[in-house]
Structure 1
Amino acid sequence: MVEIHDGAVVQVWQGWSMRVRLARVLGPRRARAVLVLLASEARARVARRAEAKGRPMGRRTLLGGAAAIGAGTALATAAPTAFAAERPAGGLVPATPGIRGQALATTVAEEAVTKWGAVGTAHVFTTRDAAGDDFILLFHQGTGAMTVYQQTASGPEGAVTVTVDVQKQALLYHLPTGEELAELTVADGRVVVKPASASDFAYCFAACLGGNVDEGCVVNCATCALGGLSSLVDCGLCAYCAGPKAVGCARKCI
């Protein structure tokens, strides 16, 4: 993307920076158009990789991309009542007053609010992953942090907090109390995850995360952090790719 002022080229944007810049320029009302561009790029990237490896693009990859696109489209077009009725995998559903009250009263929420900032009544959501498991998402006001935990019959499990370093183009994973777990960046189109400590848990978490979160997630989460919940499409896709999978990794590695 070329930025031109008064007939002169000011700056040329490409790659990750171009996508983030484009989302900021278009604004939340054009989020669906941005999503289509990102999805097309992702499909082309997967196809190129498959061709380079001499393998056709598999059904699993195609279905995974279709699921992500469908989730984003639903976020942009469906009403909250439709979310509550259908509970699609990957869709953000505003929490009901009862669920919201229970969520904010948990120890996880209290610890996360103390560390990452307040969570307003309009900043509590639920989502469901592809396996049908339910998750609570807390968006912390003013910090761009997102706390996610799995909602089970016995209470919250496997909670993580995700923040975005836009300058480093990185997702930073923490425990809700603030302890760092891992840093996820993208280099040459590949996900690179570094454990935040030498502990067995951090190494296990980083290895699991690297196998489950793709590079497109960084773009969605950065756009969400820049635009707040006004960028519902990107926040929904960010929550879907960065949240439940990370919670699963945390539970696996305990």
Structure 2
Amino acid sequence: MTTPILVTGGTGTLGSHVVPLLREAGHDVRVLSRHGRASEEGVEYVTADLLKGEGIEAALAGVETVLHLAGGPKGDDEATRNLVRAASRAGVRHLVYISVTGADAIPLGYFRAKLGAERAVADSGLPWTTLRAAQFHDLVLKMAQGMAKLPVIPVPGGLRFQPVDSRDVAARLVELTLAKPAGLVPDLTGPTVHTLTDLLTTYLKTQGKRRLLLPVHMPGKAGRAYRAGDNLSFTNTTVGKRTWEDFLADQFR
């Protein structure tokens, strides 16, 4: 019998794809989340709070591999430090972390927290692998749905994105989790670079909606970083297969 792979955030968008793939590969999975759930064959659910540092030791009992997917709008760095400290004490042999493309370049709190979490993993003394991925199609869809509620949509000019499908990210993470620790691996992005206008226009078309798109200027350091393409990755990059159009077709068929 193999030891279970601990997946933090295993009930989220990415985790819902990762857990079945790990099971298909023949591995038992222990899912850590803040809310309890009844366990099922091959999947054990445990309750813990990474940000508060509660319940982590119990979740790590008998675990050699950790896939850290849990994240939120803030506090990812502190939550990851709590996980890393407990994983070090538990003798974990491989810690895999999902970060975001541009973590070291975009001057926004979310990206800074992701970079802090990356550093916590790299400095942990544990064997580790970190994958940076572009924004998921799921997140772009939520953004588009929210913006489409307005009769006139302000659209910051010069912003480009490489949205990636969460299923492509899940498959890559499972591959990395079952391989040897590899450090910081090439970024994973979607196959196409889109402007924000492209993304919104395509979404509106699927809904049969018309909206006036009003170009606006995104000020400050963050605006300059986005216009410079610091959130994009082109060199030594792994590219997913499913496009934004493929994703939308699946969502609204």
TM-score range, shorter chain: under 0.3
Higher-Rg structure is: 2
Q: TM-score, normalised by structure 1?
A: 0.25
TM-score normalized by structure 2? 0.25
